[in-house]
Amino acid sequence: MGTALVYHEDMTATRLLWDDPECEIERPERLTAALDRLRQRGLEQRCLRLSAREASKEELGLVHSPEYVSLVRKTQVLGEEELQALSRQFDAIYFHPSTFHCARLAAGAGLQLVDAVLTGTVQNGLALVRPPGHHSQRAAANGFCVFNNVAIAAAHAKQKHGLHRILIVDWDVHHGQGIQYLFEDDPSVLYFSWHRYEHGRFWPFLRESDADAVGRGQGLGFTVNLPWNQFDPELVLVSAGFDSVIGDPEGQMQATPECFAHLTQLLQVLAGGRVCAMLEGGYHLESLAESVCMTVQTLLGDPAPPLSGPMVPCQSALESIQSARAAQAPYWKSLQLQDATPVPTSPSTHSPEGRPPPLLPGGPMCKAAAPAPAPAPSSFLDQPCLCPAPSVRTTVALTAPDTTLVLPPDVIQQEGSALREETEAWARPHKSLAREEALTALGKLLYLLDGMLDGQVNSGIAATPASAAAATLDVAIQRGLSHGAQRLLCVALGQLDRPPDLAHDGRTLWLNIGGKEAAALSMFHVSTPLPVMTGGFLSCILGLVLPLAYGFQPDLVLVALGPGHGLQGPHAALLSAMLRGLAGGRVLALLEEDSTPQLAGILARVLHGEAPPSLGPSSMASPEDVQALMYLRGQLEPQWKMLQVGAFTPQK
């Protein structure tokens, strides 16, 4: 449905007129650098360009006092000395004669973006604005921020569009205390911020930036930090600051631009994909431009580039997450798991397959899968970052092209098949692949898979007769591994057993959802029952599947909906949408031939980058669901450190 980019070049006018080392980083080039890079990448051209308008007095009045608005209005006619004197009354602020105009455009840009999304003109978008907004308060400018753009947008979405649940995610490196103050007693606006804190020693140096600030009055539990699905927002606003990225002089942190693609993609599963991002901080021009591109390209539906770096959460991060969970637990059922008794780690984790996991000397867990055989020469998978985007984003390879499928215009229904001889050779070891229908399906799957491995196609869906599902999946894995995939993640739903002759070399992570009981047969062979409740399904994805998947860093993902998978369309869609964060979105979904065209359609659209349907407010996980999760976590945490992120108990 499209992505809006809201901008006005007048917003480059405001600038620092005197010497102030703290404020000089907030400069006009921030916008031009970001915009130039979006153009260079052809991303701006793919967006609906909207020219920002000024917010009205009434709109500013949604969150600011009339006195403050007129104070800012008066700065238009002040001389430099007076501007400087007024600026000194606030923390980290400069005024310029154009500040009022720019700040009204910045707030107006956010309003236009929200209107465009909520009227259905676009699916999502980014407002490229300055001055930023999230530190600004009812009657105070603060931290380069004059009007609180995101807060005004949220108030407007409530007032003009009648929304009742708005999620604000603030990924700027600084705490947006302005937004927190404005909504701390309002349960209809959930404000989530992550920020550098340093126990109060990082700007803005506030006690109330800590995890135990949880809102007040009616708003208890609606401030700060929590997993996002239970709230089921109708709209997601992002205070999109990029000052935590590598090179930023303010944040001095190490996030890669790719992180923002993943954050964006994770948020896109909420609110039917209605995500409005508005620029806040970000002061390293190169990193800012790159990060803005990552955000916009993800909003446009492009798959996120793989994350690099060790997939091991650091102790201090775990402590922060744990204290936020603890502080929020009284207010969120999804965080209350006291009833379930964790099962202690048994020493038999690896015994069934009789081998310890391969570990690189001195390397973090995620490297465990690295001692793979030499990759196929010249495979695109060797250097995923250097290769051009696949020409086809998503391909549907059903046995008989289905005319009732509702697909985006650029999703291709594949005609081609692998050569008959080759298909037969792959099928030979499998009895269940002898039938003509199974062979036809396999031919199509192999053709699709080759397209993905060669880098022409990014993702796809294929179908197979139910009786041939296991064998087809087996062939797909072998083909993937022998044709350049170095690490292959296989998420098998329903009754699908790990292929018996699959090598135990750490190149395949087999994850079965729908097994009889929770079992970690090795660190690369995990089985869990299909959760009973939606809440359990979410915990399973967020607490097990994604931590394992991100820890493994596959370069190819197979999702197979096998016999008796029992998954509803929206659940299957959510799982696929989240797995798209792996392997640069190289995900192949394997369905049973008699799946409904609706299921095929929904999966194709999600793999193509559309938002999955909302699941509604999620139920709690059942005690069995929790038990299974806790058990597996206990078994696997020593090897898969990413699991610690979802742990409910304090870390040792």
Residue nearest to ligand X5A (CB): 281
Options 40-48, 164-172, 504-512, 625-633: segment touching Zn ion (CB under 5 A):
164-172
- Hey, how many other C-beta atoms are within 10 angstroms of the C-beta on 275? 30
Contact 579, 542 (CB under 8 A): no
Q: Does 178 bind ligand X5A (CB under 6 A)?
A: no
Among 54, 115, 243, 637, binds Zn ion (CB under 5 A): 243
Give the burial string for 362-393 (b: 16+ CB within 10 Å, else e): eeebbbbbeebeeebeebbbeebeeeeebebb
Site string for ligand X5A, 376-415 (x = CB under 6 A): ----------------------------------------
**C-beta of 280: minimal distance to ligand X5A in Å?**
5
Task: Please tell me the distance from the alpha carbon of residue 262 to that of residue 304, in angstroms, as a whole number.
Answer: 6
Between CA 88 and CA 123 the distance in angstroms is 41
Q: Which of 176, 178, 257, 281 binds Zn ion (CB under 5 A)?
A: 281
Q: Does the footprint of Zn ion cover residue 241 (CB under 5 A)?
A: yes
Nearest to 264 by CA among 240, 232, 229: 240
Residue whose token pair is 């993800």: 298
Pick the closer one to ligand X5A by CB: 22 or 232.
22
| Selection from 147, 146, 168 nearest residue 158 by Cα | 168
474 binds, among Zn ion, ligand X5A, none (CB under 5 to 8 A by kind): none
- What is the contact mask toward ligand X5A in residues 4 to 33, using x (rule: CB under 6 A)? ------------------x-----------
Q: What is the CA radius of gyration of the chain?
A: 25
* From the list Zn ion, ligand X5A, none, partner contacted by residue 22 (C-beta under 5 to 8 A by kind): ligand X5A
In the shown chain, the binding pattern of residues 495 to 524 toward ligand X5A, with x for contact by CB under 6 A and - for none, equals ------------------------------
Q: Which of 250, 290, 592, 610 binds ligand X5A (CB under 6 A)?
A: 250
CA 612 vs CA 188, 255, 327, 390: distances in Å: 23, 27, 30, 22
* Binding of residue 132 to ligand X5A (CB under 6 A): yes
Nearest to 144 by CA among 213, 69, 203, 61: 203
- Do residues 149 and 169 lie in contact, with contact meaning Cβ atoms separated by under 8 Å? no
Single out the segment in contact with ligand X5A by CB under 6 A; choices: 139-147, 305-313, 553-561, 614-622. 139-147
135 among known catalytic residues: yes
- Residue 450 sits in the site that holds Zn ion (CB under 5 A): no
Nearest Cα to 369, choosing from 89, 587, 583, 132?
A: 583
92 contacts which partner out of ligand X5A, Zn ion, none, CB within 5 to 8 A by kind? ligand X5A
CB 526 to Zn ion: min, Å: 39
> Which stretches of 94-210 are DSSP H helices?
99-118, 149-161, 177-183
**Residues marked as catalytic:** 135
Q: Which residues here bind ligand X5A, judged by CB under 6 A?
A: 22, 92, 132, 135, 143-145, 172, 174, 203, 241, 243, 250, 280-281
**Binding interface with Zn ion (CB under 5 A):** 172, 174, 241, 243, 281
